[in-house]
Amino acid sequence: MLDRKPVKLFAFLFTSLWFSANSWAEDLPLLDASQVAHNNYGYYGLEPEIVTNYLTHGRRLGYVRVQVELMLKDADTLELVEHHAPLIRATVVEILGQQSEEQIKSLAGRETVRREIFEAINQLLAQETGQPLLANLLFAKFLYD
């Protein structure tokens, strides 16, 4: 025979949390459109994915395959970013190619590389357009071997 105590306990906890969350949400003031900051973010994905080699120990070549998404501060600058896409792509390939195996394979290393690429592209776009255009840079895919 099955013990129903865990099921009853789960049902009780779920119901309690549900009602407490609903009552908490009812106490929140409603915001109108004028109180919410209007952000006009845009996104630009570098297509196709970038595949390049990175530095490894020994004779074997390592490769990394990334899909890069650029988060733009203003969606109206999409054409500018698209115009400079070859330069952006070359920057990503150059920076990834200089990384060590440890940088590519560790989470902290990938974050450092992501930040380095973001800063380099933003600086590049500032030189070309007169203003930094990126709000963020995202790796939608990051595969390595």
Domain residue ranges of the chain, discontinuous segments joined by +: 5-31, 42-144
**Checking phi first, is residue 51 left (phi over 0); if not, alpha (psi -120 to 50) or beta?**
beta
CA distance linking residue 93 with residue 96, whole number of Å: 5
Name the residue with tokens 């920076």: 95
Q: Which CATH superfamily is domain 42-144 in?
A: Band 7 domain (3.30.479.30)
Note the pTM of the prediction, 2 decimals.
0.72
CA angle 44, 46, 49 (to 5 degrees): 145
Instruction: State the pLDDT confidence band at 79, using cuts at 50, 70 and 90.
Output: very high
The answer, yes or no, to whether residue 9 has pLDDT greater than 70, is no
Structure tokens belonging to residue 120: 């380099």
CA distance linking residue 101 with residue 52, whole number of Å: 13
CA-wise closest residue to 66 among 10, 2, 140: 140
The answer, yes or no, to whether residue 125 has pLDDT greater than 50, is yes
Could you read off the pLDDT of 48-59 as tens digits, one per residue?
999 999 988 888
Name the residue with tokens 């998404």: 69
CA-wise closest residue to 100 among 46, 50, 142, 58: 58
CA-wise closest residue to 46 among 88, 93, 75, 96: 88
Can you list the alpha helix ranges (DSSP code H) found in 28-133? 78-83, 85-97, 101-105, 107-129
